Amino acid sequence: MPSVWRLVCARVRDLCVQAGRCTCGICGHPINLALHHEHPMSFTVDHIVPRSLGGPDSLDNARPAHRRCNSQRGADVTYQPAIKTSRSW
């Protein structure tokens, strides 16, 4: 029997597929679901409230994220990615 978190991850991925798009909950950029799972910009599921801070393994506490964004965020709930623009000021 798969763990609860694996079922939540599968459901989040299914929702992205049904919507026809998937956006990173951390940086806001699109996620390519076809990328290999080890690619830094591949799909992962992030705990909104980290498990280390008491966050549950539930659909309400899950959001899609790039592997890189999720790894950089870690358990920091205040993390904000550096905003990169295509414009030089």
Residue 86: the pLDDT is 61
Residue 8: the pLDDT is 94
Domains in the chain, please, with CATH? 4-73 (1.10.30)
Please classify residue 45 by burial: count the beta carbons closer than 10 Å to its beta carbon, then call 0-12 exposed, 13-18 middle and 19+ buried.
Answer: buried
pLDDT one digit per residue (tens) for the chain, 89 residues? 678 999 999 999 999 999 988 999 999 999 999 999 999 999 999 999 999 999 999 999 999 999 999 999 888 777 777 666 565 55
pTM of the model as a whole = 0.82
Query: In angstroms, rounded to a whole number, what is the distance separating the alpha carbons of residues 67 and 39?
Result: 7
